[in-house]
């Protein structure tokens, strides 16, 4: 069995009431309720964070690095995701937010939006290659990459083989600091400020089987209040000029930002993991052959709807759009040189298929098990009620075949069995009283 990788999304069993709300929403059917508590099947979880949003009892959470972990490094670099800017109202400009990060304790701030511009340029060069498989599928959302790894192996070759803006920002900022200030590389700590759990997982357990350039991932939720406090105290003063990215990079926070930044080709932007599932199914069927680029984001409204943000995604979108409008108006953005050498940002290894849905290594046995699942499923009522703790009757049938559940976990089957036992007892009792009467 393949080793499980680290997961950011975890369950606090003390808070779980076993209500089964989460099981039906999980896109990979990774959750079961057993003995009154939810259980996450680790091989199936893609850390999309949907169950964090769904659980009414806040029993699901994302593990991130504590804010104090920045103290473990002599020189601290902050990598704010562009989503961070959307969390604050119109008075809190990017300059103020970046300045607050420095006052909080970071020695250097490198906007991930800056790296997003570079990735945009690299993507344009990548797309110009006639050999690549279309539609090219964005690899910026790690939950989607994991989803493709387990559910859509045929689309692995369509993934954009360019590092994510977070990884590019981490590598470039470390290099920049080392060259500018002569700080030894091992004294530099690079921290991504994240809207989502999947990014944490992609840092702690990269799907490319190589070490991430990021040293720690902090949650936007955790750092929001400290930054707000600093900005309120400081007033509307920005003490130093920052090298801020252009509108292209900041737009990546909003759904459609990545795809509209690319200048050519037919492009689609899809958000929300269930819609992503639908569009990927279309891609597998060959219905997207006239599409060049697919931007796919697991969260509703993209990163603005991540499980680790504080602001409503629609309000955050207005905040971001205000900021973008200002950049465009003032023409204050830097125009980056084109990065012709795409190789520099290309994946160095490949993403592999993770056949977690496989029933057996032996093809014949797998087929037999598949038939058994069909037969058991037919025997259920097909209500998909979830009372058994599995998301559907078919999922329960699969659990039974895998040896993880039994037929009587279905309450209707249990009732049938109880009725049949009661009937048998009644018959035995009747037979007994008849023989007593004959005495
Ligand atoms: S939604 Fe899931 S994790 Fe939350 S209480 Fe219900 S069963 Fe437990
Ligand atoms: S994080 Fe996503 S994939 Fe993992 S258990 Fe929750 S809903 Fe399912």
pLDDT at 150: 93
Q: Is the peptide bond before 54 cis (omega within 30 degrees of 0)?
A: no
* Every domain range in the chain assigned CATH 3.30.70.20: 9-62
The CATH architecture to which 363-437 belongs is Orthogonal Bundle (1.10)
* Closest ligand 1 atom to Cα of 15: 5
pLDDT in tens, 401-411: 999 999 999 99
Tell me which of 19, 31, 54, 60 to substitute to probe ligand 1's pocket, judged by most ligand atoms within 8 Å of the beta carbon: 19
pLDDT at 241: 56
User: Percentage of the chain surpassing pLDDT 70?
Assistant: 92
Class of the CATH-defined domain 9-62: alpha beta
pLDDT at 340: 52
Is the pLDDT at 237 greater than 70, yes or no? no
Ligand nearest the Cα of residue 11 is 1
137, 155 in Cβ contact below 8 A?
yes
pLDDT at 430: 82
Q: Does residue 21 line the site of ligand 1, with CB under 6 A?
A: yes
Tell me which of 25, 38, 56 to substitute to probe ligand 1's pocket, judged by most ligand atoms within 8 Å of the beta carbon: 38
Ligand nearest the Cα of residue 197 is 2
Q: pLDDT grade, residue 235 (50/70/90)?
A: confident
Q: What is the mean pLDDT of residues 44-61?
A: 96
Is the pLDDT at 111 greater than 50, yes or no? yes
Is the pLDDT at 45 greater than 50, yes or no? yes
Please state, in angstroms and rounded to a whole number, the distance separating the CA atoms of residues 236 and 392.
Answer: 54
For residue 30, how far is its CA from the centre of ligand 2 (angstroms)?
Answer: 6
* Closest ligand 2 atom to Cα of 54: 7
pLDDT in tens, 282-296: 999 999 999 999 999
- Of 165, 180, 193, residue with least CA distance to 65: 193
* Closest ligand 1 atom to Cα of 23: 2
Is the pLDDT at 208 greater than 50, yes or no? yes
pLDDT at 331: 45
pLDDT at 129: 87
For residue 141, how far is its CA from the centre of ligand 2 (angstroms)?
Answer: 15
**3-class DSSP string for 353-373:** CCCCCCCCCCHHHHHHHHHHH
pLDDT in tens, 307-330: 999 999 999 999 999 988 888 655
pLDDT at 327: 80
pLDDT at 171: 93
Residues with CB under 6 A from ligand 2: 9, 26-28, 30-31, 40, 45-51
pTM of the full structure? 0.90
pLDDT at 1: 39
171's enclosing H/E stretch is helix 165-181
In a 3-state reduction of DSSP, which class is residue 424?
A: helix
Range of lowest pLDDT (157-166, 232-241, 369-378, 387-396): 232-241
132, 265 in Cβ contact below 8 A?
no
Q: What is the mean pLDDT of the chain?
A: 90
Nearest CA to ligand 2 atom 7: 26
Angle, vertex CA 62, rays to CA 60 and CA 321, nearest 5: 110
Q: Which two tokens stand for residue 134?
A: 């279309």
Of 4-8, 29-33, 115-119, 341-345, which has the strongest mean pLDDT?
29-33
Is the pLDDT at 243 greater than 70, yes or no? no
* Closest ligand 1 atom to Cα of 60: 3
426's enclosing H/E stretch is helix 411-437
* Every domain range in the chain assigned CATH 1.10.15.40: 363-437
User: Percentage of the chain surpassing pLDDT 90?
Assistant: 74
Q: pLDDT grade, residue 345 (50/70/90)?
A: confident
Angle, vertex CA 16, rays to CA 53 and CA 7, nearest 5: 60
Tell me which of 16, 26, 197 to substitute to probe ligand 2's pocket, judged by most ligand atoms within 8 Å of the beta carbon: 26
Is the pLDDT at 428 greater than 70, yes or no? yes
Range of lowest pLDDT (53-62, 210-219, 425-434): 425-434
């Amino acid at each position: 069995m393949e080793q499980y990788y680290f997961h950011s999304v975890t369950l606090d069993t003390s808070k779980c009431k076993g209500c089964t709300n989460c099981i039906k929403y999980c896109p990979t059917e990774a959750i079961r309720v057993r003995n009154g508590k939810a259980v996450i099947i680790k091989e199936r979880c893609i850390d999309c964070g949907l169950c964090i949003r769904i659980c009414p009892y806040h029993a699901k959470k994302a593990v991130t690095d504590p804010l104090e972990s920045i103290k473990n490094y002599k020189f601290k670099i902050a990598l704010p995701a562009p989503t961070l800017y959307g969390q604050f109202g119109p008075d809190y400009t990017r300059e103020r937010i970046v300045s607050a990060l420095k006052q909080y304790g970071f020695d250097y701030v490198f906007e991930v939006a800056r790296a997003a511009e570079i990735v945009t340029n690299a993507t344009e060069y990548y797309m110009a290659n006639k050999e690549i498989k279309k539609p090219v599928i964005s690899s910026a959302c790690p939950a989607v990459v994991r989803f493709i790894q387990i559910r859509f192996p045929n689309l692995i070759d369509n993934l954009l083989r360019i590092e994510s803006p977070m990884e590019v920002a981490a590598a470039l900022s470390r290099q920049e600091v080392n060259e500018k200030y002569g700080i030894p590389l091992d004294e530099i700590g690079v921290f991504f400020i994240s809207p989502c759990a999947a990014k944490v997982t992609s840092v702690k357990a990269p799907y490319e089987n190589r070490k991430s350039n990021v040293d720690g991932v902090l949650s936007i939720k955790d750092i929001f209040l400290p930054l707000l406090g600093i900005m309120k105290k400081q007033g509307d003063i920005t003490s130093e000029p920052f090298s801020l990215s252009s509108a292209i990079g900041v737009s990546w926070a909003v759904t459609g930002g990545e795809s509209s930044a690319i200048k050519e080709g037919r492009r689609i932007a899809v958000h929300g993991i269930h819609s992503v599932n639908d569009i990927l199914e279309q891609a597998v069927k060959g219905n997207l052959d006239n599409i060049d680029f697919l931007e796919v984001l697991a969260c509703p409204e993209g990163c603005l709807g991540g499980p680790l943000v504080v602001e409503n995604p629609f309000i955050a979108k207005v905040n971001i759009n205000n900021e973008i409008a200002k950049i465009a108006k003032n023409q204050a953005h830097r125009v980056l040189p084109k990065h012709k050498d795409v190789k520099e940002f290309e994946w160095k290894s490949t993403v592999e298929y993770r056949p977690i849905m496989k029933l057996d290594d032996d093809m014949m046995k797998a087929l037999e098990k598949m038939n058994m699942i069909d037969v058991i499923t037919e025997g259920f009522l097909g209500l998909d009620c979830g009372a058994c703790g599995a998301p559907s009757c078919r999922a329960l049938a699969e659990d039974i075949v895998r040896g993880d559940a039994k037929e009587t976990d279905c309450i209707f089957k249990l009732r049938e069995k109880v009725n049949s036992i009661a009937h048998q007892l009644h018959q035995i009792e009747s037979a007994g009283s008849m023989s007593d009467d004959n005495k």
